[in-house]
Amino acid sequence: MIAHLASLLTPLLRLIDPETAHGIALRALRLGLAGHQSSADDPRLAITALGLTFPNPIGLAAGFDKNAVALAPLAGLGFGFVEAGTVTPLPQPGNPRPRLFRLTEDRAVINRMGFNNDGLAAYLAKFNAFPRGLVPAGANVGINKTGADPERDYPALVAAVAARADYIVINVSSPNTPGLRDLQGEARLRAILDAVNTALPQRPPLLVKLAPDLAPEGLEAVVETCAAAGVQGLIIANTTIARPKTLRSPAATQAGGLSGRPLFGPSTDILRQVAGIASGRLILIGVGGVATGAEALAKLKAGASLVQIYSAFAYDGPALIPRIKRELLAALDHEGFPTAAAAIGADLK
């Protein structure tokens, strides 16, 4: 009955302002109105990566639950892992509303949220309460818009979340915080990673989330910098500032980062490039436009060990999770892979 209510609620939420709808969805999740996975995942979907076991490779990307208020209900929907944030040291309101836009005709979203969140103290109170043993939980950290010192703030954030996080993501790729993407430059990124390593040599696996808009030479420099600094993985990729000519929605002219279906091709191409550069030295998480099991398999074949979704979940709601896993199993069978793990990097071999 609850799952049926969730399926009815999802199309109704699409009729109202997207940020308001997002808030309602989080409240519904906290109240247990979104349903719960009724059976264990097929063992063929299990992935071992980053020293962790994932029951399936389909995770929730950062941005949906910025303040870690609904992690347990989200895990209960059947995600293989969940990622909360981006959290900043101090609370900040983000950019003025409206700042979240549906591109329904394109199955896409544009956001210019600006790292709106309740700050680290409030985040930790919720994140640290997430029960161990459900699914792996990642903490995504970023810097405030004003008063930030990246070499000071990122190590402090990593240290603060390290006690509970199964993995930690350094976000240097959101297009909505002025100057943030400049931190992807080789020298600045190395300085941040060196500061993190000095402050916390023993920590959970560390990943860096990259933009899909890096030039090829910049991409190689970032990958080599991360590998040299002992980073365990990369998330490929964040939202894009590009606007493909194929976009049909009137909202396509809005400023901000584009996610959803139009990002699938470009982000998968970059994922494949990064996988070639990394040559197995880094675990990759593929994100960008995944809405079907076949698309999840394409990310795995391009070199990802894990896959994240966001926009498709916002459009389709909880029913997406069991469907995408069923489709992934069917796609694995169709292409002759015995397990999801066997498909990782198949395009590169």
Tell me the per-residue pLDDT of 241-285, one tens digit each, with 9 for 90 and over.
Answer: 999 999 999 999 999 999 999 999 999 999 999 999 999 999 999
161 burial (CB, 10 Å; 0-12 / 13-18 / 19+) is: buried
User: Mean per-residue pLDDT for 51-76?
Assistant: 97
Predicted confidence band of residue 339 (pLDDT cuts 50, 70, 90)? very high
pLDDT at 2: 42
How far, in Å, CA of 151 to CA of 172, rounded? 12
The C-alpha torsion from 290 through 258 and 183 to 69, rounded to 10°, is -70
Lowest mean pLDDT among 134-148, 178-192, 228-242: 178-192
What is the homologous superfamily of the domain 44-348 according to CATH? Aldolase class I (3.20.20.70)
Q: Which of 174, 267, 305, 311 is catalytic?
A: 174
What DSSP assignment string belongs to 171-239?
E---TTSTTGGGGGSHHHHHHHHHHHHHH-SS-S-EEEEE-TT--HHHHHHHHHHHHHTT--EEEE---
Every domain of the chain and the residues it spans: 44-348
Closest Cα partner for 54 from 316, 325, 267?
325
342 contacts 304 by C-beta, under 8 angstroms? no
Please say whether the beta carbons of 40 and 78 come within 8 A: no
d(CA 181, CA 310): 21
Number of other CB atoms surrounding residue 27 within 10 Å: 12
64 contacts 79 by C-beta, under 8 angstroms: no
Scan for tokens 């459009």, then name that residue: 315
Q: Which of 26-35, 46-55, 106-115, 250-259 has the lowest mean pLDDT?
A: 26-35
Say if CB 151 and CB 192 are below 8 A apart.
yes
Overall size of the chain counted in residues: 349
Q: In the structure, what pLDDT confidence band is assigned to residue 1 with cuts at 50, 70 and 90?
A: very low
pLDDT value at residue 8: 57
Give the residue among 280, 293, 303 at the shortest CA–CA distance from 325.
293
Q: What percent of the chain has pLDDT over 70?
A: 96
Q: Is the pLDDT of residue 137 over 90?
A: yes
Q: Of 267, 274, 264, which is closest to residue 348 (Cα–Cα)?
A: 274
Is the pLDDT at 340 greater than 90, yes or no?
A: yes
The residue among 303, 345, 148, 52 whose CA lies nearest residue 157 is 148
Confidence of residue 6 (pLDDT cuts 50, 70, 90): low
Q: Which residues pair with 167 in a beta bridge?
A: 138
Q: What is the pLDDT of residue 12?
A: 67
pLDDT tens for each residue of 184-209: 888 899 999 999 999 999 999 999 99
In the numeric block, the tokens 């990310």 are attached to: 299
- Residues 67, 69, 72, 75: is their CA dihedral positive or negative? negative
Mean pLDDT, the chain, whole residue set:
94
Residues sharing a CB contact under 8 Å with residue 54, sequence separation 6 or more, in sequence order: 46, 47, 48, 80, 81, 135, 136, 306
174 catalytic residue (yes or no): yes
Predicted TM-score of the model (pTM): 0.95
Residue 183: per-residue pLDDT? 86
